Structure 1
């Protein structure tokens, strides 16, 4: 599953993305409805919903009550067993223990992964600012991943700013393509970053960029690559 570019343009409920501070954490904080991405993305987003995961964990109890109706009442009155099952499902099936985190990759490799992310994120932001003709203000590339392990990683990428007012910026199609093409590829994947994040137990990465650092050469390159730039909304 490729990273989902999160912006007011790519969700059905853009008001849910409104924020008073950045970087804005989204997973487990707000419910958003992605546009496009197919059923796989929608199912993966729904998987972040804890009550739904509890229902999945307890589904064997529900099935058992339908099969053995005479045991339905005793089964429904076994809260300790249900709590144990939920705990096992959440902590052992969907998460990695603190001891196992360090075995996912060594410290040096994790550092290299994060260095690569920072380098690529700054390159994305440089091109992004040049595309918009933005020569002042701070922009932030926020890469957030789900803390759930042993399932397909869910990666949300957004461009945020605190200039004017804190917000997640709307992105046009070319800007979304720029992020998709320049951030991850076959040599640097969402899964690789997810392993590093699992090791460090940190799932939100924010890379800031001062648009004053955009050179005239970069602006010219952006102009040659696409249509006339637009100013970032205030």
Structure 2
């Protein structure tokens, strides 16, 4: 599953992304409805919903009540057993213990992964600022990943700013394509970053960039690589 580029244009409920501060944490804070991405992305986003996961963990109790109807009442009144099952499902099935975190990736490899993220994020932000013709102000690339360990990583990537009103910025299709193409690839994957984040127990990463730092060369490259201007109608 590729990273989901989060912006007002890529969700059905853009008002949910409104914020008073950045970097904005999204997972477990707001419910967003992704546009596109297919059923796999929608299902993965739904799994982040804790009540739904609790229902999945408790589904054996529901099945048992249908099979052994005479035991339905005692089963439904076993809260301690249910709490134990939920705890096991959340802490052992979906997450890794503090002891195992350090075995997922060695310290040097984790540091290299985070250095790669910082380097690529700055490169993306440089190109975005140049593409927009932005000569001042701060841009922030925010990469958030799910804390759940044993399922496909869910990665949200957004561009945020403190300039004016703190907000998650809208992104044109070519800007979203730029992020998708430049941030992750076969050499630096979402899973690699996820292991580093699991090791450090940190799941929100951000890189800030001052648009004044965009070179003339980067602006020229963005101009040459950008979409051709459309001719005015006669």
TM-score (norm 1): 0.97
Match of 1:187 in 2: 187
SS in 2 for 1:83: helix
SS in 2 for 1:110: helix
Distance 1:187 1:75 in 2: 50
Distance 2:213 2:138 in 1: 10
| Shift of residue 175, structure 1, vs aligned partner | 0.1
- CA deviation vs aligned residue, 1:137-156 (integer Å, no higher than 9, x gap): 00000000000010000000
Which 5+ residue runs of structure 2 have no aligned equivalent? Answer: 230-234
Match of 1:2 in 2: 2
SS in 2 for 1:9: helix
Number of positions where the alignment pairs a residue of Structure 1 with one of Structure 2:
229
SS in 1 for 2:130: helix
Distance 2:228 2:191 in 1: 35
| Shift of residue 227, structure 1, vs aligned partner | 2.7
Alignment pair present for 1:131 and 2:135? no
TM-score (norm 2): 0.97
Structure 1 runs (4+) deviating above 4 angstroms are none
Match of 1:76 in 2: 76
Distance 1:19 1:101 in 2: 32
| Shift of residue 226, structure 1, vs aligned partner | 1.0
Distance 2:222 2:60 in 1: 55
Match of 2:38 in 1: 38
Match of 1:113 in 2: 113
Match of 2:220 in 1: 220
Match of 1:66 in 2: 66
CA RMSD of aligned residues (A): 0.9
Which 5+ residue runs of structure 1 have no aligned equivalent? Answer: 230-234
